[in-house]
Amino acid sequence: MPETDKVICITCPKGCRLDVTREGDTILKVDNCGCKRGEEYVKAELIDPRRMVATTVKIKGGVHPLLPVYTAKPFPKPRIRELLGALQQVELQTPVGMGDVVIKDALGTGIDILASREMQPAS
């Protein structure tokens, strides 16, 4: 039984409202695209949706108690909750440099978690 979904494409700021007709995981039709990137977006969204994730982790010895971190690449959406849970337990120590790898290969995805900024020991 074909189903239709409405999906907002976020490849560019226009945000076309796409009408997607699919049968299970197979995409039959994508209507309302402003350009061909819409179809690619929908395929990715339905099969393997990913998002950039930014959050904070605890850090000791710095001017603030938290260090902002982010995923080096878009992260699998279904595993974001798990990632956030893992990051709650992390506690770093200054000094940390911008771009330092805070967690390598997070949850086995091959995606590193990086420091968004440097933080030096507070004087």
Partner 1 sequence: MTQFFDVIIIGGGIVGSMMARYLSRYTLSILLIEKETDICMGATSGNSAFVHAGYDPVPGSLKAYTNVEGNALYEQLSEDLGFDFQRNGDYVVAIGQEDVPALERLMAQGKQNGVPGLEMISGTELLKREPLVNPEAVCAMWAPSGGTCDPFGANIAACENAIQNGVQVMLETEFLDFICEGSRIIGIRTNRGDFTCRWAVNAAGLYADEVMHKAGMRPEFKIQPRRGEYYVLDEAEIQLNPCFFPTPSAAGKGILVAGTVHGNVIIGPNAEVINDKEDRAVTSTGLQEVICGAKKIIPSLTLRPVISLFAGLRAYGNAPCETPGVDYGHDFIIEIPSKIQGLVNLGGIESPGLTAAPAIALRVIEKLKDAGEKLEEKKDWNPVRQRRPRFRHLSLDERAELIRKDERYGRVVCRCETVTEGEIVAEIHAPLPARTYDAIKRRTWLGTGRCLGGFDLPRVVDILARELGESPLEVSKKGPGSEFLAGTTKPGMFGGEG
Partner 2 sequence: MAIKDIYDVVVIGAGPGGLAAAIAAKQNGARDVLIIERDLEPGGILLQCIHNGFGLEIFKQDLPGPSYAQKFINDALSCGVDLLLDTMVLDITPDRRIFTASRKGGIREIRAKALVLAMGCRERTRAQVRLPGTRPAGVYTAGTAQRWVNVEGYMPGKKFVILGSGDIGMIMARRLTFEGAKVERVLEVMPFLTGLTRNYVQCLLDYDIELQLQHTVKRIIGNKRVEAIEAVAVDEKWEPIPGSEEIIPCDTLLLSVGLIPENELSRKAGVALDGLTAGPFVDDRFETNVPGVFAAGNVVHVYDLVDWVTQAGLASGKAAALYAVEQEHKTQRKIPIRSGENVHHVVPQHICADSLKYADIKLQLRVKQPVEDPVWVEVRKGANLVARRAERYARPGEMITVTLPVKAYDEVEAAEELTVAIMKR
Total number of residues that touch partner 1 (CB under 8 A):
6
Which pair of structure tokens corresponds to residue 116?
């968004």
Sign (positive/negative) of CA torsion 95, 71, 103, 57?
Answer: positive
Binding partner of residue 37 among partner 2, partner 1, none, CB cut-off 5 to 8 Å per kind: none
Judge contact between 25 and 46, C-beta under 8 A.
yes
For residues 38 and 62, which CB has a smaller minimum distance to partner 1 in the complex?
A: 62
Cα–Cα distance, 6 to 15 (Å, whole number):
12
DSSP state at residue 121 = P
Judge contact between 64 and 96, C-beta under 8 A.
no
Judge contact between 17 and 42, C-beta under 8 A.
no
| Residue 116 binds partner 2, judged by CB under 8 A | yes
CB of 117 to partner 2, least distance (A): 4
Residues 55-74, one symbol each (x = binds partner 1 by CB under 8 A, - = not), give -xxx------xx--------
CB of 4 to partner 2, least distance (A): 17
For residues 23 and 110, which CB has a smaller minimum distance to partner 2 in the complex?
A: 110
Residues 22-61, one symbol each (x = binds partner 2 by CB under 8 A, - = not), give ------------x----------------xx-xxx-x---
Report the SS3 class of residue 73: coil
